[in-house]
């Protein structure tokens, strides 16, 4: 029997402009290796571009999914039964929760290039984590998916 599709899935991909900067890193590496010779310069160009592309891709690789009664956010896998109220954060509120309202014990899946977020309380009294802060481009859809998953659990 095939698995049903996830009610919510999002990849926190990096902005496209970061990908455009990768060749610039390669050019800088090539210029740094110019005194050694043309082969070293070519290796610097290719290697610097590839290294920068790898870093940009890996930084933008976390996913947020709600599937099978779990919220999977980056490396965290949390049963929806352990989650409480979800609060959609607009740009200003997300900034506040990233800075002066933040709790050091909270789980943050933070990407500063994504202006909106979802804050989800942890309802499990045994868990010292007070809430999850999840950067997301679609906070209301994620909140709705969590609510639907909690209703099914």
Digit-coded pLDDT (tens) for 1-42 = 444 455 888 988 888 889 889 999 999 999 999 999 999 999
Within a domain: 36: yes
3-state DSSP of 73-129:
ECCEEEEHHHEEEEEEECHHHHHHHHCCCCCCCCEEECCCCCCCEEEEEECCCCCCC
Within a domain: 133: yes
Region at 37 (left for phi over 0; alpha for psi -120 to 50; beta for the rest): left
Kindly state whether residues 95 and 144 are assigned to the same domain: yes
pTM over 0.85: no
Mean pLDDT (the chain, rounded) = 89
Kindly state whether residues 45 and 97 are assigned to the same domain: no
Kindly state whether residues 47 and 93 are assigned to the same domain: no
What's CA 97's distance to the chain center, in Å? 16
Q: Which domain holds residue 127?
A: 77-152
Within a domain: 128: yes
Within a domain: 67: no
Q: Give the neighbor-by-neighbor strand order of the sheet with 117-122.
A: 83-89, 117-122, 131-135, 107-109
Q: Count how many domains the chain has.
A: 2
């Amino acid at each position: 029997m095939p698995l049903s599709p996830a009610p919510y899935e999002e990849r926190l991909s990096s902005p496209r402009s970061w990908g455009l900067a990768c060749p610039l890193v390669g050019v800088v590496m090539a210029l740094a290796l110019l005194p050694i010779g043309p082969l070293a310069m070519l290796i610097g160009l290719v290697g610097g571009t590839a290294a920068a592309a790898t870093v940009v891709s890996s930084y933008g690789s976390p996913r947020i999914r709600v599937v099978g009664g779990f919220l999977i956010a980056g490396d965290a896998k949390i049963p929806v039964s352990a989650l409480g109220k979800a609060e959609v954060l607009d740009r200003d509120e997300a900034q506040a929760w990233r800075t002066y309202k933040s709790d050091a014990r909270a789980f943050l899946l933070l990407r500063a290039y994504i202006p909106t977020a979802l804050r989800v309380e942890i309802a499990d009294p045994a868990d010292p984590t007070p809430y999850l802060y999840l950067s997301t481009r679609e906070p209301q859809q994620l909140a709705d998916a969590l609510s639907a998953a909690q209703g099914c659990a």
